[in-house]
Structure 1
Amino acid sequence: MPGLISFMLTRFVAGAGLGCISGFLIWNNGFVGMSAASSTDYYIAQGLFVYLFASTMGVGYLATALMLDDT
């Protein structure tokens, strides 16, 4: 695999993993209260919330790594 693609994939996956962990922790600590919603709506909302954090942090980590790379 070419070096740039490998660099981009590893940095994006690392940031997305950190975002997933953050999203799950924020969701499970009661940041969002959805006690009246059905179970299907709850899981869809949780998935979208975690995806929001994962994609945002993944792209942010990748952009920062590309900006600071000196090689």
Structure 2
Amino acid sequence: MPRLISFMLTRLAAGAGLGCAVGFVVWNNRFAGMYSASPTDYYVAQGLFVYLFASMLGVGYLITALMLEDTR
């Protein structure tokens, strides 16, 4: 069981890291227009936007790794 937990945590963390990077790139390239927001709302929106990508890609990376894992 510890091998499965470490497998899941490493794949989830790798996917979340990729998701954070993608979220920051998308946000900094102004694909999501938050031009008229106050500074506090801007940071909250940016955090939620990056979390959206991190959680989505983290779970997707984990599911793909579990599906493609060879159990021989």
TM-score tier by shorter-chain length is over 0.9
The unaligned stretches of length 5 or more in structure 2 are: none
What amino acid sits opposite 1:30 in the alignment?
A: R
Q: Deviations over 1:21-69 (max 9, x none)?
A: 0000000001112121100000000000000000000000000000000
Whole-angstrom distance in 1 between the partners of 2:34 and 2:47: 13
Whole-angstrom distance in 2 between the partners of 1:57 and 1:13: 10
Aligned-pair identity (%): 76
Q: CA RMSD in A?
A: 1.1
- Runs of 4+ aligned residues of structure 1 deviating over 3 Å after TM superposition are none
How many residue pairs were aligned? 71
Normalization by structure 1: what TM-score?
Answer: 0.96
Normalization by structure 2: what TM-score?
Answer: 0.94
Whole-angstrom distance in 1 between the partners of 2:20 and 2:46: 11
